[in-house]
Each structure stands twice: as structure tokens, then as C-alpha cells.
Structure 1
């Protein structure tokens, strides 16, 4: 399942934070991981393969690694910040999803914490005035981030208690699988609509950074200059395909 570069034989995630996207409505979570990888200039250290993953292969998605290739599932590391981002480039095949989730949890359960990003259909937000954000966190994750999650001024999210996230893909199943292994895990998702979700992706990263700036460290400058800055990956140039040829007209 695991293929690592540079002759590495094992994936040591001691004290690491793992960011994991769920394939959700608008691909917002995957786009958010794209922003993280490009902004942090994370290194591709390997890939995952499994019957649940539709084979995909293509050119580099990021300008900081122009010679790399992309596949169905890739691992990107920021060794200095002890950050690992998993990126999916294809949907999962339903009949193999269960075994893939089990193997994925076994692979990543040694991490200090796991953050799952996802999205849900905007029309599922029953009260318009409510926050567009919702989260689910394990008890041990709440202990680690008690100050942030308990800060009423900072936390704008509603705690999700339901048994389904419509449009959220396998986010909730992944969350429960990590929680069963006693991994500190949080699921963060935003209510959104299909279409151009690049803005939603930016907002997801920004919200996550406000909670967990200690490991994302996406603020630039020092002192009073702490502006939030993201790098857009070059793969977004053709986010919706090539331009329409003038020959059609």
C-alpha cells in the first residue's frame, strides 16, 4: 500500500499532525490541501496504492516541485513543522472503501493528531443565521486544544452530533475509525455549493490556521505584520479545463 521515496522503509509519524481530505461536495477539502501543500512548499515523500483508488497519473501540480508526478494518493511532508498532508486525486471505489479505510487508519494511527477536512451541501444548513462551519472532535483532541475550542470569541463552529454529513464523502466514517483507535482526531467541514470552490478552500485553511497555528504556521511577517498568505498552485490554472476554442464561433 505504501511506497516511499529515497529508500525510506517506514513512515514515522511521532509528534506529527496529519491533514486528510475527504472527497466531498465541490472537492473543497482537496483544494484546501492543494493550498496547504503549495503554501508550505511541502515535499512529496511517497504515495499510496489500493484497489479502492482509481489509477491516476499526471504532471506536477505544484510550482515548487516541477519535476514530480501526481498519482491517485500522495503524501506530502513538512519535516520542520512535523506536518503530513495526504492528497487524493480520484474518488474511491465503493466496494473496497472499508478495507482502504482500515489500512489508512493503521498507517496513520501513530500521529499526534489527525485533522479531516470535508464539506457538506449548503442546503443542509437548516438555519441560515447559523455558522457555515461545523466540527467533530474526539475527547483527546479537545484536551489538546481546550483553550481554542473553549474560546467563545474564537470558535465560530457548531459541534456536529448527527450520524451523517450529506455531501461529505467518507469523512464521518474516517473520523469514527480514528476515534476507535484512540487517535486525537478532528473533523472540520463547511457548508457549501457545487461550482468554483477555490474561495471555500481558502476559507477552510484560514479557519484551521486560526485554531492550530502552532503547526500550520501560515502567517507571514513578525510583530504587527501577520498577514495570512496562501500560494495558489499552478494546477489551478486549468481547474475547469482548457479555455473554449474560438473555432467554435
Structure 2
């Protein structure tokens, strides 16, 4: 069920780009969405509840919205860029996953395009010299982005054709659900190692910006520099410091 902050509003994603993280190895996709939300100072417009989502409630995750709270599934919007980011704070309950995916597709199927972010275990990359990136795109997405995906100087990703992304969570199933609904959708993931994946998160955002700079617009200044804002929630990315009373 969708809860918007304003009861008078309805969720209209016409001409929007929607970014969805898969709960994957190292939480890299969720961290990438954290960077997007903080860097672009997206506004929280509501939340989603469903039996598939483990209930979570806590303090604000971002310094630009100090009074907001966080929950299991939140919606963040950038009106100017027509950008909607869906952020998850908890894993999904397996037996309800299929129904949740169907409802999520129904909720945002009117979007211009959907981009799913994920990750995969680094040891699954069989060729050491190969790119650490892979993607899967629907045919209508390939047609709409033929210039970017066909440019070897810009895109050095390998197209994924397998039936599994190990460590990628529900990314592939969600991709197929949007594809079946004829929504323009792309799945982008990076091969990585479990641990501190904040660097991988920033790399995911940079790669995404290379493809879709027209709506992310994260390049600042005349020198073409790339600026990201680290959210305050990352201060305790691995929990509290060890208390001195243990010693």
C-alpha cells in the first residue's frame, strides 16, 4: 500500500525515470541510491508498505531532510529532473516477493524508463580482464538508448544473458516483471566483493551518470568534476564504535 505525505496527491510518474535498488551483495545498490538521494537532495514524498517488507522505522538518513523518518520502503522525488528513487531499508520476505513485484510494477508502469541497480559476487566474473560491469536491457530500452548502448567509447559493459545473477537478490525477477509489462527497463550491476562497498556505490552512480547524464546531472562546475554527497547515515555504516567498557 502506498502512503504519500500529502493526501491530496497521487503518484504520477509520467515521463519519470525510476531507479530501484535490488537488495544485493554488499548492499551496493542501496548505497548507490543513498548517494543519489543525498547528492541531488531528493525529497521524500511517501512510503510503501507490503507484507513482503520487514517493518523498519528510524531517524532521518540524510542531512538535507533532518526531520524526516525512514521506513522499509521510501519514495524520493526530484521534480526538476523527473527522477524517482525507491529505497529499501530491509530485505524482502520470500513468500510475498512475487506479489510485491507485481504491485510495484503496477504502481510505476507509467514511467518513461526504469533502471534496476544490483551487484554480483566478484568470483562469478569468469574472465579476470573482463569489465566489472554487466547489464540487461529490454528491447524497447535498447531502441530508445541505441546511441549510448552502441557507443564502445562510452559503454564498456557486458550484456548479461544468463538466467541468474548470483548475489543479485531479486534484480533479475524484477527486471522480467517490468519487461513483461512493456516498460522500458535496464538492469545494471557490478561484480564486487562483500565488505565496505561504499566505493562500489559511488562507481555505480558514476556509470549510471555516463549513460543518463541528461537526468542525473551530477557534474558540477566548469571543470566537469563529479560531486557526490555522502549521507550522514553512513557515519554508522557498520554500527556503533566498540565501547571502551569492553576493555
Q: TM-score, normalised by structure 1?
A: 0.98
Which deviates more from structure 2 when the two are superposed, residues 188-197 or residues 5-14? 5-14
Q: CA deviation at 1:248?
A: 1.8
Aligned pairs (5 A) from 1:217-236: 217-222=217-222, 225-236=223-234
Moved runs in structure 1, 4+ residues, more than 4 A?
none
Q: Give the match for residue 241 of structure 1.
A: 239
Q: Give the match for residue 188 of structure 2.
A: 188
The reply to whether residue 137 of structure 1 matches residue 137 of structure 2 is yes
Q: Give the match for residue 15 of structure 2.
A: 15
Q: Give the match for residue 29 of structure 1.
A: 29
Instruction: Report the 3-state secondary structure (helix = DSSP H, G, I; strand = E; otherwise coil) of the residue aligned with 1:153.
Output: coil
User: For the aligned residues, what is the CA RMSD?
Assistant: 0.7
The reply to whether residue 3 of structure 1 matches residue 3 of structure 2 is yes
Q: CA deviation at 1:10?
A: 1.7
Instruction: Give a deviation string over 1:102-130, Cα, whole Å, max 9, x none.
Output: 00000010000000000000000011000
Q: CA deviation at 1:8?
A: 3.5
Q: CA deviation at 1:197?
A: 0.3
Once residues 8 and 237 of structure 1 are traced to their aligned partners in structure 2, the CA distance between those partners, rounded to angstroms, is: 36
Aligned pairs (5 A) from 1:152-191: 152-191=152-191
Q: TM-score, normalised by structure 2?
A: 0.99
Q: CA deviation at 1:144?
A: 1.4
Instruction: Give a deviation string over 1:213-241, Cα, whole Å, max 9, x none.
Output: 0011110013xx11011000000000000
Instruction: Report the 3-state secondary structure (helix = DSSP H, G, I; strand = E; otherwise coil) of the residue aligned with 2:55.
Output: coil
Once residues 226 and 164 of structure 1 are traced to their aligned partners in structure 2, the CA distance between those partners, rounded to angstroms, is: 37
Once residues 213 and 9 of structure 1 are traced to their aligned partners in structure 2, the CA distance between those partners, rounded to angstroms, is: 29
Q: Give the match for residue 81 of structure 1.
A: 81
Q: CA deviation at 1:9?
A: 3.9
Q: Give the match for residue 210 of structure 1.
A: 210
Once residues 221 and 111 of structure 2 are traced to their aligned partners in structure 1, the CA distance between those partners, rounded to angstroms, is: 29
Residue ranges of structure 1 left out of the alignment (5+ in a row): none
Q: CA deviation at 1:247?
A: 2.0
Equivalent residue pairs, number:
247
Q: Give the match for residue 100 of structure 1.
A: 100
Once residues 35 and 21 of structure 1 are traced to their aligned partners in structure 2, the CA distance between those partners, rounded to angstroms, is: 12
Once residues 198 and 146 of structure 2 are traced to their aligned partners in structure 1, the CA distance between those partners, rounded to angstroms, is: 30
